[in-house]
Structure 1
Amino acid sequence: MAKADLVTCSFSIDRDLYNQYKSIIVRSGGNVKGDLIRYMQNVIAQDIPNKETIEAMDEVKMMKAHPENYKGYTDIDTMMEDLLK
């Protein structure tokens, strides 16, 4: 029976990708589960991607979807003038 404060993660991944990843991790003395847990802890500690990064990525998606709503530049001096206003 699983503990209430634990979760079991199960997902499918391309076998070749997994084997390549595992090979690298094992060569450095680690294991896949431990490495994934350390990665998750690092993401939490660094707040990656943080709220501002997610908002910026969403903004870029919107700009790409609707470029007509945004000013474009063909002259770097004009762009810098607008940025420094």
Structure 2
Amino acid sequence: MSTANINVRVDADLKRSAEDLFNDLGLNMTAAITMFLKSAVSHDGIPFEVKRVIPNAETKAALAEYDAMKNHPESYKRYSSFDAMADEVLGNDA
């Protein structure tokens, strides 16, 4: 079987982390990438789900609230310190 080279550019930290993982699994980078490619061919596609992360309703509401707070800070109460905010939330007397 003949072989061919593949050159891939990735973040250096990602490469080190992947190498550490593969070494712990008893693999080298070549073996791990070969396994991925064989799995992709076998699945006739990417061998895992690839999708955008769609925020749920609660996250969407939180992001909308953040935008409103950012665009209209005068409409929201501010505190001079975390302790002042905690005292109000917890009902502590000042």
TM-score normalised to structure 1 length: 0.48
Structure with the higher helix share, 1 or 2 = 1
TM-score normalised to structure 2 length: 0.45
